[in-house]
Amino acid sequence: MLTLPQNLPPTRKLYWQDPYRRSFTARILHRLEDAGRIGVILNRTCFYPTGGGQPHDLGTLSGVQVLDVTSDEAGHIIHWLEAPLPDEADEAHGEILWSRRYDFMQQHSGQHLLSAAFQEVLYRPTIGFHLSESSVTIDLPGPPPDEKSVNRVLDFVQKAIAEARPITARLYPLDEAVRLPLRKAPTVAGPIRVVTIDGLDWSACGGTHVRNTAEIGHVVITKLERRGDQTRVTFLAGGRAFQDHLARLNVTNALMSRLSTNMDDLPAAVERLQAQVKESLRSVRQAKELLTRAEAQRLIAEAPHTGGVDVVYHILDSDELWDMETLLKTLISFPSVVAMLGTFRDGRARWIAGRSQNVPLDMLDSLTELKSAFGVQGGGTVDVIQGVAPDFDTMQKALHLLQAFAFDLPTLISDME
């Protein structure tokens, strides 16, 4: 908590008197430092402090960057600066970053209008509001409304924008304020600042607003999200809505020219494309299965045959169509096969080995031997084991040992008998 001098008067809010004012001169009343931050309090300011859902202004005080603007309960507005103001100065000249402020004014007025529209058209009050440099949202009770209802809300908004209804702000004593059709009951005792959209909306609000609804320009809803038993509405107003429109135009134009179609047919064109891709992938998968099977048969035919078992040993090239796991699965789907496969890609030696159901070899036993003999790593089941080796040579040696186990199988079988 900051402690300020007792007699420090509250800061006069020039942004309330005239939200379009961009520069001002003011007396320096107090300088402070808090946790390494440099603050200054003036007798009056155009800088809006973070509050009521609206972010603070940026700009300069006598050429020094204003990094943050906060306020306290007593109405002091503190400008947090990048560097201290000159010691001898008793006045400061402020300039607010107008593009940022005007954007916030358009979004904030857009929010009041959109909230009024949801209330008037769908009887949904606004229970949350968030405005940042990148997004504006309001929260409504209940699930997301359907497209038709949303369009009715937007029609209401668009009509109000075309009517250029004045937006004004005034302080009311509490007893007068409670007689206004306010959206929400006031929570403060003192005079209540009410922002009015002529004939449409009365909201208790400390924010900065455009002078009439025409300056909101346009409101578009970009997202409706269910959040528990509420709906979050993401929207854009003014310049943001225009920029969004241009961005979407660029994207749709690019897609239309790529797919040689017009905007109305774009969804159908994309659907056709997706269906084609799906069909192609299915064909490729089938072809791959057939090829893998043919490769497995070739490897089995060429493999040494010992004690009724085909012992397949194969190192995969980098350009082989099938992956090692699929090839192994295909190999051991044939009876009487023991197979060991390896690859060496991107400096990594990986191997996999397995046997057909009818071959009495416990692959996990083999793995234990490989681990102690060569320091390879791996895991698996009694049918299939796989892992990595420190290098290609070690992998080859390990696979050759597995091969030897397979060649010994007749002994294993006779041992078991």
Query: Which residues sit at the interface with Zn ion, rule CB under 5 A?
Result: 205, 207
In single-letter form, the type of residue at position 220 comes to: V
Kind plus residue range of the DSSP H or E element containing 171: strand 167-172
Which C-beta is closer to Zn ion: that of 206 or that of 354? 206
Residues 370, 403: contact at Cβ < 8 Å? no
Q: In whole angstroms, give the CA distance from residue 112 to residue 101.
A: 17
Answer yes or no: are the C-beta atoms of 24 and 93 closer than 8 Å.
yes
Distance from C-alpha of 192 to C-alpha of 209, rounded to nearest angstrom: 16
Q: Contact 403/409 with Cβ under 8 angstroms? A: no
Shortest distance, position 207 Cβ to Zn ion, whole Å: 4
Nearer to Zn ion, 210 or 384 (CB): 210
Rounded to a whole number of angstroms, the distance between the first and last alpha carbons of the chain is 86
Nearer to Zn ion, 28 or 169 (CB): 169
Yes or no: say if 339 and 353 are a contact pair by the CB < 8 Å rule.
yes
Cβ-closest position to Zn ion: 205
Q: How far is the CB of 205 from Zn ion (least distance, A)?
A: 3
3-state secondary structure of 316: coil
Closest CA to 399 of 360, 362, 373: 373
Residue 202 and residue 229 in contact, taking contact as beta carbons nearer than 8 Å:
no
At its nearest, how many Å lie between Zn ion and the CB of residue 115?
Answer: 9
Least distance to Zn ion, CB of residue 109, Å: 8
Which CB sits closer to Zn ion, 205 or 341? 205
CB closer to Zn ion out of 111 and 231: 111
CB of 208 to Zn ion, least distance (A): 9
Taking the complex as a whole, the smallest distance from the CB of residue 176 to Zn ion amounts, in Å, to 19
Please give the Cα distance from 348 to 345 (Å, whole number): 5
- Closest approach, Cβ 200 to Zn ion, in A, equals 14
Q: In terms of CB distance, is 45 or 208 closer to Zn ion?
A: 208
Min dist CB 204 to Zn ion, Å, is: 8
Q: What is the DSSP letter of 184?
A: S
Please, what is the minimum distance in Å from the beta carbon of residue 194 to Zn ion?
A: 10
Determine how many CB atoms are found less than 10 A away from the CB of residue 347. 7
CA 332 to the chain's CA centroid: 45
Q: In what order do the strands lie in the sheet with 348-355?
A: 305-306, 309-315, 337-345, 348-355, 384-389, 377-380
Compute and round to an integer the Cα radius of gyration of the chain: 37
Residue with smaller CB distance to Zn ion, 182 or 224: 182
Rounded Cα distance between 258 and 404, Å, is 58
> For Zn ion, which is the closer residue by CB, 53 or 94?
53
Residue closer to Zn ion (CB basis): 94 or 207: 207
